[in-house]
Amino acid sequence: MRSNIFDQANQVTQTRERWSLQSSKMLRVGFGADVLAAKGAMVAYQGQFEFKHEGAGSVSNFLKRAVTNEGGQMMRVTGQGEVYFAQDNHNVFTLQLEGDAITINTRSLLAFDADLQWKITTIGNAGMLAGGLFNLEVAGHGTAAVTCHGTPLVLDCSQQPTFVDPQAAVCWSAGLQPALKNDMKLGALIGRGSGEAFQLAFHGPGFVVVQPSEGRAVVPG
């Protein structure tokens, strides 16, 4: 059989690296140690694996998860071989943590080493609002992978205040403490708002990664 689908560019990239991008949109992880990943992110695997729902890990995380459902859609991947992860044809980026930490919008989370410490974080005055206002902080030594809908932009928050749509924020320095900025006016209540009622406000030493998309629409339950 002949087809350009068999071109070398579409073949598996052989590597001894545990985490490797097979393309800009697909990640390969070689096992070893367990990985925590977003549920539904596995697209293929070779070898023997188990995929199990990952528990909350702590009472604090359990309570936040019960209220917000954030961080609740993770699975633990255990086995030997290699697993391929992807999400909605989004671009994939890996982050090598070297004793530091990063906060990830759970909508952008793809996978991370299970040995990393993780906790669900909230944004101070966000209350019960949805849309990336409850996030996941990972810390330690290991690798995490995030997805981005389009080409990301990295903004330096140290020079001046930076405001980001909650749906567009991919991840940011864990040392930053974003606040919720509310621009909702009376007009928004009668259908004449701008559609940009809330932003995340960042200011301080660090960065925020922004995607050129507000992601999938959240349909109220």
Segments making up each domain of the chain, as ranges: 16-210
pLDDT of 118 > 90? The answer is: yes
How confident is the model over 179-183, as a mean pLDDT?
Answer: 81
**pLDDT tens sequence across 39-78:** 999 999 999 999 999 875 544 454 444 444 444 489 999 9
- Written as one string, the DSSP assignment of the chain is ---GGGSGGGS----S-SEEEEETTEEEEEESS-EEEETT-EEEEEEEEEEEE---SSHHHHHHHHHH-TT-SEEEEEEEEEEEE--TT-EEEEEEEEEEEEEEEGGGEEEEETTSEEEEEE-TT-TT--SSSEEEEEEEEEEEEEEESSS-EEEE-SSS-EEE-TTTEEEEETT---EEEE---HHHHTT-S-S--EEEEE-SSSEEEE-SS--SPPPP-
pLDDT of residue 112: 97
pLDDT of residue 123: 76
How confident is the model over 165-175, as a mean pLDDT?
Answer: 94
Average pLDDT, the chain: 84
Q: Answer whether 0.75 is exceeded by the pTM.
A: yes
pLDDT of residue 126: 52
The CATH number of 16-210, from 3.40.50.720, 3.60.160.10, 1.10.3720.10, 3.20.20.70, is 3.60.160.10
